[in-house]
Amino acid sequence: MICKALASTWDRFLEKEDGASLCSQGWDLPMLLFFPNIYRVGMANMGFQTIYRLANVMEGVSCDRCFLPEPHLIPLIEKGEELVSMEIKASPREFSVLAFSISFELDLLNVIRLLH
């Protein structure tokens, strides 16, 4: 079961973003780009934004985003609710490629949390 609280959090963040979302369904290669920290940290990272943009302009690739849930949502994920992608609200299991943008060594611990 996907985490509905996380999906609604992603929707609130998307409403505040400028520009249209780039991700769409139906491409040959669905990719999920993780940033192993919270949304505000990930979206402040130019490397993450560059990878996301470049992946979405590649022919046949559709790249969605996923971040470490906000601290108050972590217990829901730990209790078994499933992580969900930001734009199309899909389970990570539905993507052919899972990619990670890692800027700091300590974020490797969060990669383990996301994979669990």
Question: If the chain, 116 residues long, is cut into consecutive pieces of 10 residues, what is the mean pLDDT of each piece?
Answer: 76 78 71 94 94 90 92 80 89 94 89 82
Q: Which pLDDT value is given to residue 22?
A: 62
Domain region containing 32: 4-106
The reply to whether 93 falls in a domain is yes
How far is residue 31 from each of residues 14, 19, 71, 113, measured CA to CA in Å? 19, 20, 25, 19
Rounded distance between C-alpha atoms, residue 88 and residue 2, angstroms: 12
Q: Which pLDDT value is given to residue 85?
A: 93
Quick check: 97 and 85 in contact, CB under 8 A? no
Q: Which pLDDT value is given to residue 41?
A: 94
The reply to whether 11 falls in a domain is yes
The reply to whether 115 falls in a domain is no
Q: Which pLDDT value is given to residue 24?
A: 61
Q: Which pLDDT value is given to residue 51?
A: 94
Structural domains of the chain, count? 1
**Environment class of residue 54 by beta-carbon count within 10 Å: exposed (0-12), middle (13-18) or buried (19+)?**
exposed
The reply to whether 13 falls in a domain is yes
Q: Which pLDDT value is given to residue 25?
A: 61
List, in order, residues 6 or more apart from 36 with CB less than 8 Å away: 68, 100, 102, 107, 108, 110, 111, 113, 114
Which pair of structure tokens corresponds to residue 31?
Answer: 């990719």
